[in-house]
Structure 1
C-alpha cells in the first residue's frame, strides 16, 4: 500500500471517529437539556441540595407523562451514553394491590412504594412504605398505617368530646375526620388496592420493559439522583389528568399545618397535611377537587432505606 493510500485510509478513519464523537456529544447535550428542563434543585444556599422528581405545582400531568416517556427513550438509545443502573419514579395507572407489584415492577429493584386509600371527595394521607421484599413489606407497611389511623381516630374522637356545644362546626369536622381515619384503617387492614407509585432502580432497558407493562402509567428516570436522602419524589395520583393544583387548605376554623413534599430520606421529618395527633388537625370534610395535589400529604410507616429490594432485583 502506497503512503498516499495509507494517508487516505487514516483520514477516512479519523473522519468516522470524529463523527462518532460528535454523535455522542450531541446525545449528552440532548439528555442534559432534558434533565435540566425537568428537574428542580434547591437553591445553592441550601446545603441539602434536594433534587425533586415528579410533577410540580402548575405542571400539567399529560405534559409530565410525555416528557417522562421522551427522556426514557433518549436514555435507552444505543447511541446514548452508558449510565448503568439509575433511579426512577414509577407512576401506576390505578390504585394497585400489593400482590400485583412483583409482576409490574419485575426487572427493577424496588426501594419504596407510595400508597393512599382512595375516597371520593376526601384528601386522604399518602403513606411511604420502604421495601426490601415484595409484596410482604408492603402488606406490613399497610398494617402499620392502619395502626396510625386507629390512633388518629381516637385523637379526633377525644378532641370532639371536649368541645363545647357552641363549637358545633368543629365537632362535625372532627367527627368527619374520625370516620375517614376509621375507613382508612379498615382498608389498609384488608390489604387494599392502594399503591399508586414506586421508586425503583434499574438499567434503561429494564425500565423500558417496566414502562411497557399494562398498569404502568409512566417511568420517570432520574440519573441525576445519587442518594435517596437528597431526593423528593412527587408521583401524580392516578386520577390526576389536568394541571397540578396547590395543596388545598382547610376552609373551617380548624387549623391546618403546612404540608411538605414527600422526602425519601432516613432521618428527614415528613409532615402530614392530613393529620397528626395534635391540636392542629385538618378538616377532611372539605370537598376535594377533581384534580388532587400530586402528593397532598405523607406519613412514613418506618424510616426509608437507601437500598434495593431483594425480591425484585434486576436480573
Structure 2
C-alpha cells in the first residue's frame, strides 16, 4: 500500500520506512502502524491482534491563555483504518472499543481471498462491520471524502434460523465482530452443570474460543430479563434452548403435563416477544428451523416443534432482518 506516492506500508507490526519523507510521521503502536500526513490526516494499518483496551494518554490541549484545556481529538483516533478483515475481522470491534476507530473513521476491509467464497460475500461482511471493501488500485483519501458506510445499530433485531450445523451461530457471531460492546446470552445448560454432557461441554468451549475476549457472557435461561436491561449489542443463542428450558419449567416434558402448562408457556413466550420488540440494543438471535416435514416420534417432541415454530414466527414478525443459514451460506428472507 502506497501513501501519497511517498512511502509504502507493509507489515503493520514493523512500520513503513526507517526515515519517513518530510512532513510525515510514522509510529509503530500496539494497534498497528500509524501515519500522519502533512495535512493532519491520520491513517492506521491495523494489527490483526489489535487490543481492545483504550490507550492511556492526555486527550486535551492546554490553553495558551491560562484557561481550561481545550478538548481535542485523541492522539490515537484515526481518519482511516485499514484492517485485514479475513485474518481478523474482530480487530474492527477492538479498534472501536479502544476509541481508535470513531464514528467518522473510514474502515477499509482488505485481504479478501480464497478464504471467502466470493467478492460479493466479502463485500457483504464488510458492510455488516461498517467497513468498505476497496478494489485493487483504488485511490482513497485521508481524511475520507465520503461518510463511512452505515452498519446496523440498536434498536435493530436480526433472527437467524437454520438446521443443525448449518452455520447459523457462526453467522450470528460474524455480524457482531465490528461492535465494541457485545453481550453473549447463552440460554443452554452451563458446561459445569448437571444437565451438560461431554459433547455439550466441547461445543460450548468451541463457541467461547472463537468469540472476542472482551465480549461479556450471560448464562441464563431467563432471556427476557437479560434483554430487558440490554445495551450495545446482544447475541441470543439460542431460542431453541430457551424454549426447551421453559417447557421443562412449565412441566411440558412430562408424560402428563400439569393443568395450565401450555398457558404458562404461552405467557413466557409473550413476555419474550414483548421484550424483543422493545429492546433498544442491536439484537441477533439464533434459532432452529424445526420440522421440515419430519414428524417427531413423541408427544413432547411434537409440542417442542409446534411451539418453536410459533416462537420463530412471532420473533420474525418483530425483526428487521430474518436470515436462513444452510451449508455455511446465508440467504436473506423477505
Higher RCO (Cα < 8 Å, 6 or more apart)? 1
TM-score (normalised: structure 2): 0.21
TM-score (normalised: structure 1): 0.22
Higher strand share: 2
